[in-house]
Amino acid sequence: MVNAGSSSIKCGVYGAERGERVVGMHCDIRAGSCELVTSRGDGSVGSEQVPLPEAGETAWQSAVRTVLARGVEVAGGPVIGVGHRIVHGGNEFQEPVVITPAVLTEIEKLVPLAPLHQPHGLAAIRGTMACLPDAIQVACFDTAFHAACPPVALRFAIPRRWHDAGLRRYGFHGLSYESIVARLPEVAGGLPDRMIVAHLGAGASLCAIRGGRSVATTMGFTPLDGLVMATRCGEIDPGAILHLIRREGLSPAEVEEMLWRESGLLGVSAESGDMRVLLESENASAAEAVELFCYRAVREIGSLTAALGGLDTLVFTAGIGEHAAAIRAEMSRGLEWLGVAIDSRANASHGPQISLPGSRVAVWVIPTDEEVVIANHTRRLVSRLQGDPSPLQPGRPTASRP
């Protein structure tokens, strides 16, 4: 399993029979090097600096090859299949697929819709193919979980021809939401009918889930929409973008750079896109960025509650959601009208349940595990391919969700 993010690569090696994780690896990429952290099944953890002589996407491919080679070495066995997290699946892919040249071409066409992530996912695929040419490669899409949304939740109010051409809401972080849907029953003793999951990290979104299926989410056509993020603006009036181009003279490329890489927490604080830095800062602009982050999330939770017709459970996950008690507390204060009441001690210790017994809404902190979801999809798809290869010949995507 390979999960290529915007600044890191996660890799896990899982057993083909029972799906247990043999080794997990996390690589933080910095200029010229890769900090490689390895956790083995026996509980031991190691860390090392690995030089990366290349730059750009070549560096990502080099990092993937390094991580995979070390993972295979530690695991001590052949690799049958490799699953990849791909952020955007567009109209073409609404389920995991075996990667063929034709599939790779379609994934590459979607780079403009997820420029912070899609190129790294492609680099990871190519690096893996070079390192493990005989392994079956599988793409798992962040957009697939939201394919079940009602059509009205996916449509923009634009001419039909553009909707028919694929200009609609897709939603993202689907692998994370799928992970929470699978994990919550183990922790809470059952899956609530109406819940909202807050995936809060450098990329942030919310998802309204009913009966285990997505019904609405805050991200749209691209991962730029919705909540305030580390460097992404989130929701913005399209007229403001037209103003920047027509009146201020910015080029589309300049506007794109600003909205994706210079906005969000970084843009508002003029200090950092890292929530940890902002929470420790004494600058008024940092406090304003944190306030806006929480305000927008609370407002959108209200919107998604309306889409669900009520709310039974709220789950915090991802980097900020799992580790920033102050953010959870501030958001919970903004949701008292909804019946949210949290235990300050439980919140400070990061849960797993942080709501008080009398809270009308159960509130949980649950770590997301996209890697397990990817590994499970890959194992099932590879098993199907080995059992009946005819439907999955190279060049043909899978016909149904594994």
Active-site residue numbers?
142
Could you tell me the strand order of the sheet in which 97-98 lies? 45-51, 33-40, 21-30, 8-14, 2-4, 81-86, 136-141, 97-98
Q: What is the spatial distance between Cα 52 and Cα 34, in angstroms, rounded to a whole number? A: 7
Q: What is the spatial distance between Cα 58 and Cα 365, in angstroms, rounded to a whole number? A: 37
Structure tokens at 126: 């190519």
Asked if 225 contacts 264 with a C-beta cutoff of 8 angstroms, the reply is no
First-to-final CA distance of the chain: 16
Concatenated DSSP letters of 100-130: -HHHHHHHHHTGGGSTTTHHHHHHHHHHHHH
Start-end of H helices in 145-274: 151-154, 160-164, 174-188, 238-246, 252-261, 264-269
Paired strand residues for 27: 9, 36
User: What is the β-pairing status of strands 81-86 and 136-141?
Assistant: parallel
Return the H-helix or E-strand segment holding 270: none
